Amino acid sequence: MFSPEGPTLRELAVQALSSVDRGYDLLAPAFDHTPFRTPDRFLDATAAALAPLGPFDAGLDLCCGTGAGLRVLAPLCRKRLTGVDFSAGMLALAAAALPPAGGPRPQWVRADARALPFAGAFDLVVSFGAFGHFLPAERPGLFAQVHRALRPGGLFAFPIGAPPPITSPWYWAMAGFDGAMRVRNALWRPPFVMYYRTFPFSAVRDDLAAAGFDVALDALDALDEVGRREDGSPRAGLVLARRA
């Protein structure tokens, strides 16, 4: 599927019938050849939007997978680069990749994002493509963990997709995927939590504020570089949540 190096349909099915961490362990060798890896143009747009807010000393890529977020952190962070993920398979791939030239050597930490082993350690936390793995009820706890991992004044930044209009095929594709996952999770153990439509900006902003973040209100205009829809509205934005 996706490309000759990507996973086969059978491999994807086996992954989807596993737990999230085991599923990613299985997918890891082929992950960079799937659309699930955040594309470079998206990462570069994020780095460009964050550059005027830096430089930073220590950066964390939350749910780092094979290390895509390093492309954002490396040019922005002077002293420390860390990636955290709970899939040992994904982390092994991240560690095997060539580190970015000239910057600090990245450290890879295996941990659950809902129980991070960090306190006041970072002034920038980024995350890409992973929030669909958290149920809405888990969000306050997740954001509290990030808040604790940041130094006072530190920044939590992540892209968020604008919801497609109901007339768009994407709307129905995402609704169909989420529906299929709900059926799968009702019938099969362990669950594989992955939903596209459980991370709306308004609820995310409220949960961030409740966790102690100041959230930038104009954030959804910040990623113009990744393109606009035919009606001119942005496809995605950048949430900027600062630890108060």
Ligand X SMILES: C[S@@+](CC[C@H](N)C(=O)[O-])C[C@H]1O[C@@H](n2cnc3c(N)ncnc32)[C@H](O)[C@@H]1O
Residue-by-residue DSSP string for 46-70: HHHHHGGG--EEEEEEET-TTTTTH
Tell whether residue 85 is a contact of ligand X (CB under 6 A).
yes
CB of 194 to ligand X, least distance (A): 8
Angle (CA) 120 122 128, round 5°: 125
**Total binding residues toward ligand X, as defined by CB under 6 A:** 22
Which one of residues 71, 80, 133, 243 is an interface residue with ligand X (CB under 6 A)? 133
CB of 64 to ligand X, least distance (A): 5
For residue 123 the two structure tokens come to 């002034």
The secondary structure of residue 234, as a DSSP letter, is: B
Q: How far apart are CA 22 and CA 39, in angstroms?
A: 23
Q: Are 143 and 211 in contact (CB under 8 A)?
A: yes
Please list every residue from 24 through 83 that binds ligand X, using CB under 6 A.
24, 36-38, 63-65, 68-69
Please list every residue from 145 through 204 that binds ligand X, using CB under 6 A.
none
In sequence order, what E strands does the chain have? 56-62, 77-85, 107-110, 122-127, 150-161, 213-215, 236-243
Q: Which stretch binds ligand X (CB under 6 A): 123-131, 149-157, 202-210, 221-229?
A: 123-131
CB of 1 to ligand X, least distance (A): 15
Q: Which CB sits closer to ligand X, 21 or 207?
A: 21
Q: Which residues contact 50 (CB under 8 A, 6 or more apart)?
A: 72, 76, 124, 126, 155, 157, 238
Q: Which stretch binds ligand X (CB under 6 A): 18-26, 99-107, 158-166, 176-184?
A: 18-26
Q: Which CB sits closer to ligand X, 65 or 106?
A: 65
Tell whether residue 112 is a contact of ligand X (CB under 6 A).
yes
In single-letter form, the type of residue at position 220 comes to: L
Q: Which CB sits closer to ligand X, 92 or 209?
A: 92
Q: Which CB sits closer to ligand X, 192 or 214?
A: 192
Q: How far apart are CA 78 and CA 112, in angstroms?
A: 26
Residues of this chain that bind ligand X (CB under 6 A)? 20-21, 24, 36-38, 63-65, 68-69, 85-87, 90, 112-114, 128-130, 133
